[in-house]
Amino acid sequence: MLAEIFLVARKDLRVERRAKIALGQVAPLALLILMVFAFALDANTSLLERGAGGLYWLAVLYGGTLLIQRSFDVETDDGNMDALRMSAIGMPSLFLGKALALFVQITVLELILGPGILLLYNVGVVDWVLLIAAAIAGTVAFSVCGVLWGAMSAGLRVRATLLPLLLVPVLAPVLLAGSRAFETALGVRAGAGWTWAGLMFVIAAVHTALGLGAFGFLLEEG
């Protein structure tokens, strides 16, 4: 199973390395969004500083949604889903493999957005460990939920609008927890940063368990 997971993840990442959608298009777009937030808040430094955590996760949500979409467009393109269905790869492995690939891609996106908020919003980190733990927890939750809901809308004509509609309510607690944990890590609000990070891990774990059981139902046709 581990071999299958890595097989799928490696394939997805190799496709991404060739196509350069995440680095070439999604990351610049997410950075642009960070800038537009500054316009919207009229470059009010104290507002930007306090909102940095939330704006960061909103940008991740936006970029992540595009990456999730892309992850399944690759599979529905040219009938590749059929080949996956006909293969010996188990559905739980496919689920975890695609989630792993998505995790790597969103991490790259965050590595670009992170310095972005530090520089553009003029915030400093007071707790690096919490920041990194929260980022990892949030990214795992994003990837796992993303693969589940990406599969839910894969191959449908209206997937471009359906995916965000279904995904955002599910990710709302992750956005909330991520923002609060980051605010603590960035020192703009004293609070239970670690509990929020823990909550994101719990969300990720719950969705992983659900995904392992339910993923096969989502990709079967007829």
Partner 1 sequence: MSAVVEFEGVVCVAGSFPVLTGLDLRVDRGEILHVQGENGAGKTSLLRACAGLISVSSGKASVLGFDMRVDRKAPRRHIGLLGHENNLYRDLEVSKHVEFRAASVGARASDTAAALEKVRFPQQLWSVPIGSLSAGQRRKVAIASLLVGRPQLWLLDEPHAALDTESRKNLDAILIEASASGATIIFVSHESPVTKEIASRVITMDGGRITEDSGAG
Partner 2 sequence: MPVANSGAKMTATLITRVLGVSALAATGLMAVLGLVISPPDVVQGEAVRMLYIHVPSIWIAYGGFALTSISSILFLRRSRRRPDQGRHYDRLAGSAAEVGVVFTAITLITGMLWGKVTWGTYWQWDARLTTTVLLFVTYLGYLALRRLPAEPAVRSRRAAVMALISFINVPIVHYSVDWWRTLHQKASLSVGRRPEITGEMYWTLLYSALAVTILATWLIIHRYRVIRLEELRDEEGLEALIASRLNKDFGSH
Q: Where along the sequence are the contacts to partner 2 (CB under 8 A)?
A: 148, 152, 156-158, 162, 165-166, 168-170, 172-173, 176-177, 180, 189, 191-192, 195, 199, 202-203, 206-207, 210, 214, 217-218, 220-222
Q: How far is CA 174 from the centre of its chain?
A: 10
1 binds partner 1 (CB under 8 A): no
- 50 vs 159, which CB is nearer to partner 1? 159
Q: Which of 138, 95, 97 minimizes the C-alpha distance to 15?
A: 97
Compute φ and ψ for 116, nearest 5 degrees: -55, -50
Which of partner 2, partner 1, none interacts with 111 (beta carbon under 5 to 8 A by kind)?
none
Secondary structure (H, E, C), 168-221: HHHHHHHHHHHHHHHHHHCCCCCCCHHHHHHHHHHHHHHHHHHHHHHHHHHHCC
CB distance 219 to 92 below 8 Å: no
- 60 vs 81, which CB is nearer to partner 2? 81
Q: What minimum distance in Å lies between the beta carbon of 150 and partner 1?
A: 17
Q: Which of 1, 14, 206, 209 binds partner 1 (CB under 8 A)?
A: 14
Taking phi over 0 as left and psi of -120 to 50 as alpha, with beta for the rest, 176 belongs to alpha
Query: Of the ranges 16-24, 34-42, 54-62, 132-140, which one interacts with partner 1 (CB under 8 A)?
Result: 16-24
Tokens 């071999």, residue located: 3
Instruction: Name residues contacting partner 1, limited to 54-113 (CB under 8 A).
Output: 74, 77-80, 82-89
Which residues sit at the interface with partner 1, rule CB under 8 A?
4, 7, 11, 14-16, 18-19, 74, 77-80, 82-89, 221-222
